[in-house]
Structure 1
Amino acid sequence: PMKGAETTIVKPAAVVVNSAPSNTPTNAPTNTPTIELNETDKIAALLQQDNIFWVLASFFGFGLLLSLTPCVFPMIPILSGIIVGHKGEVTTRKALVMSIVFVLAMSVTYSIAGVLAGYFGENLQVLFQTPWILVVFALIFVALAFSMFGYYEIQLPTGLQNKIAKISNKQEGGHLIGVAIMGFLSALIVGPCVAPPLAGALIYIGQTGDAMLGGLSLFVMSLGMGAPLLAIGAGVSKLPKAGGWMDNIKYVFGILMLAVAIWLLDRIISPVVSLALWATLFSFSPIAMGVLNSLTNTPTPWQRIFKAIGLLVLAYGILLWGLVARGGGDMLAPLSGYGASTQSEQVHVKFEKIKSNADLDRILLRAKANNQIVMLDFYADWCISCKELERFVFSNDKVVDTMKNHIALQADVTANDEIDKALMARFNIIGPPAILFFNNGVEKRSQRIVGEINAQGYLEHFNKAQ
């Protein structure tokens, strides 16, 4: 974009207007130039179109794409575990109804939280990322896991069950209420992800006050995110219900529940403790499932396959214990560093930490005097996507080399205090991850990154910001 089109804060209503900058030469073409928009502003502009069907269809498609992100993956064992752990026979119809209730509860929660965030500038999901809430919810998943293992059954007191039975035949309504509560809590606590569609909708709501269209778009987007869950929930109901096979399936989902608990605690515990927990899960679980037991004289092909998978998982768990012994490492590359005479130093972008608007303004002045590009990364410990950026983008060799002669800032907004909120509000940021680029002391808004991106995409944005 042209220099005259740059602004520090651009409202969506202004973004969609194609206005020529004031310093346009008199001999310039008469065609009005179009301001380049970032993904978030494009979505905010999309909401201002008159074709509501196209708007909602687009947001449903956004939701389907978001269903492939780490924000939705933990929902799979949660919903599957609810269906598998249900007492009595679960038909495909009943499993589908339970899945629909779960997804609807999740969608309504996202919509309400989004509308509130758009109106008040406060991301409701961030409020649920405090350590005590994460610990309590992780303990709930641990309790559900041990219930799957058969140590006990989790059920309501008899008196409360009888009351619910009077309200709804065969306790169906009471059970669906529990499913809806899990969908509600999962949306708030398990998957607090900020992506361009969400950010665009919240900016639109905040600037226009149109909570109806903004909330409806978020609801449809959430339905798209939950669409694969419906298929998975119906598929789980097809699993055999009798015999040792079903017990093994319940054990697997119990292990997945433990994985969700560790995934939640990852946001508040040290990397070494996290590695130790994952190593424990991957090494103990196969042993508990009987992977070291001898096969029968005539094992079936499936028994051989499951034993082989179990041995691979156990081997991976042992490799993770090696990382724990070394004091840490990348669990996705547990063999990295072995066999080298000297352990190579891991490259990473060197960040300057900032906290307030005053910190940022001071560094922007310095960068302007030195003709340097400034990159500002919004980060939080509970933000899973932020950690993905740390691992795959800010540790990339090309990214590190590119940033050597420029300034990389990082604002840790984990505390979400008033200073953090003021810094995010300055740029209409609803929460991490978000990456901003500044040239000559002014944000290049068209190159703003919201959500996850790979190293190549980051470099493309950086080069355009110069």
Structure 2
Amino acid sequence: MKKLILFSLLLAAVLTATAQSPVQKPAETSWQDVVKQFTVVRTGTGYMDVGDFTEFLDRAEGMRKKPGIFKRFTARPVTFYENWGLWPTLLLILFGGLALNLTPCVLPMIPVNLAIIGAGAQSESRRKGFALGSAYGLGITVVYGLLGLAVVLGGARFGALNASPWFNLIIAVIFLLLALAMFNVFHIDLAKLHQHLSRRQVEEEYLAAFGIGGLSALLAGACVAPVVIAVLLLSGNLYTNGVHAGLALPFVLGLGMALPWPFAGAGLSFLPRPGAWMEWVKRGFGVLILLLAGYYGQLGGRLLIAHMKPSGGEEHLVVCENKSTCFKDVLSEALAANQPVFIDFWADWCKNCRAMDKTTFADPKIKSRMERYKVIKFDASNYDESPAKEILDHFGVLGLPTYVVLNPVK
């Protein structure tokens, strides 16, 4: 009897303790846990037409080799980098900056600028002339570097600016005006403004040379502007594609332009003298700038037409409106089915995202191609809010639209 009572008391104590102890729920799986089971195989950004997007998918699936080297550098800003790598790209930009000193807008001004800073023939010694020329060149380099940082970092979050129709049309108009100036239809003369501002020197001559060098970089004229704009576009494109070294391109361009100045300041004459040959160089620049104007003009027109078309082609997309649960659930479904994932990061303020929906994503061939993917259309309109911020940071998204292709880890 006593044993029965003792057993009953022990059983009651065990049941009471069990009832009072909290039930340990299994930890909920997060999207970070699921995404670790995928590998990023390809990323892209900006507006892509059907051909470009097909090539993007082909390369994501390993079906196509890298584009040929004969594609136009200006038409495919990232192509040269993808084919040749970082160092050849930097060398190309460096030599491009060096060549800018031979343009009709810069070469005739070299003796004038040397006289303003007291270098060259006016220098007390070659050593001092070299130092003044170096300060002048440093000003050029720093200004181009800062200009690149301001343009690229300032517009990075809003992504794909260079795929905006209005942006491309404005660039086309600027290039057209610069080309007309190359053919002497009208005259763009920034030299007088440059000389006027250059005379406002501070007492410290090296600081003055540095400032005048930076000023000359900004007021170099119509010959230099197209090259600077093209390098800025390339820099921004590389940066938004995750190549952070793209930030250095404007700096390298300025470095190339600055290279002759220390030697010119020391009185070493190795640059060719201005002459009739410069008129042919000027016309050659005019033709190149006209081609750039035509390219950006047709691109802007094509995007503008795309914006005017009715929406369509979104029925195959799964929309996740800044919700981690939706993002995680679709990834989990793809993982269970061993299916690749295509993520389209978009925003309601992104015109290029709308253009993709109206054109490329609406194309029957693209629709058929996308059926093999689990497609996530992730709304990043409020990119600074959670979980969009964490998801964008995880994939290194810097511009919209951005496309990411994932494969399940085998």
Q: TM-score range by the shorter chain?
A: 0.3 to 0.5
Bigger relative CO (Cα 8 Å, ≥ 6 apart): 2
Larger Rg: 2
TM-score by length of 2: 0.44
TM-score by length of 1: 0.40
